[in-house]
Structure 1
Amino acid sequence: SLGKVVLGTVRGDLHDIGKNLVGVMLTGAGFEVIDLGHDVVSERFVDTALAENASIIGMSALLTTTMPRMREVVELLKQRNLPGRIRTIIGGAPVSAEFAREIGADAYGYDAANAVVRVSSLLGIRVSG
Structure 2
Amino acid sequence: MSNFEKLAEAVYQGDDLEVKTITQGMIAAGVKPMEIVSKGLLAGMDIVAPKFKAGEMFIPEVMMSAKALSEGLSIVKPLLSAEDSANVSTFVMGTVKGDLHDIGKNLVVMLLESGGFNVVDLGVDVTPEAFVEAIKEHKPRIVGMCALLTTTMMAMQDTIDAITEAGLRDKVKVLVGGAPLYPEFAEKIGADGYCVDAVSCKEMSAKIVANN
TM-score, normalised relative to structure 1: 0.92
Structure 2 equivalent of residue 16 of structure 1: 102
Question: Secondary structure in 2 aligned to 1:40?
Answer: coil
**CA distance in structure 2 between the partners assigned to 1:123 and 1:84 by the alignment:** 15
Work out which structure has the larger RCO, using CA pairs closer than 8 Å and 6 or more positions apart in sequence: 1
Q: Which has the higher strand share?
A: 1
* Contact 1:7 1:36 (8 Å CA) reproduced: yes
Aligned ranges 1:110-125 → 2 under 5 Å: 110-124=196-210
In 2, the alpha carbon distance for the partners of 1:52 and 1:89 equals: 17
Match of 2:186 among 77, 100, 110: 100
Q: For 1:46-95, what per-residue CA distance to the aligned partner results, in whole angstroms no more than 9, with x for missing partners?
A: 11111011111100100000001101111112212222211110000001
1:51 maps to which residue?
137
Structure 1 match to 2:172: 86
Contact 2:132 2:166 in 1 (8 A): no
Q: Could you list the runs of 5+ residues in structure 2 that have no partner in the other structure? A: 1-86
C-alpha separation between the residues in 2 aligned to 1:8 and 1:83? 17
Q: Which has the larger radius of gyration?
A: 2
What is the distance in 2 between the residues matched to 1:94 and 1:48?
Answer: 25
Amino acid of the structure 2 residue aligned with 1:13: D
More helix, by proportion = 2
Shift of 1:121: 2.0
- Aligned residue pairs, count: 126
Q: Structure 1 stretches (4+) deviating beyond 3 angstroms?
A: none
- Give SS of 2:210's match: coil
Shift of 1:39: 0.6
Q: Give 2:203's aligned amino acid.
A: V
Q: Is the 8 A contact 1:108 1:118 kept in 2?
A: no
CA RMSD in angstroms comes to 1.4
Q: Percent identity?
A: 42
Counterpart position of 2:152: 66
1:8–1:59 contact (8 Å) kept in structure 2? yes
SS at 1:123's partner residue? helix
The 8 Å contact of residues 143 and 172 in structure 2, kept in 1 or not, is answered as yes
**TM-score of the aligned structures, taking structure 2 as reference length:** 0.57
Which structure 1 residue ranges, 5 or more long, are not aligned? none
The C-alpha deviation readout for 1:83-125, integer Å capped at 9, x for no partner, is 2211110000001111110000011110000001111222235
**2:153 counterpart of 1:75:** no
Matches within 5 A, 1:33-44: 33-44=119-130
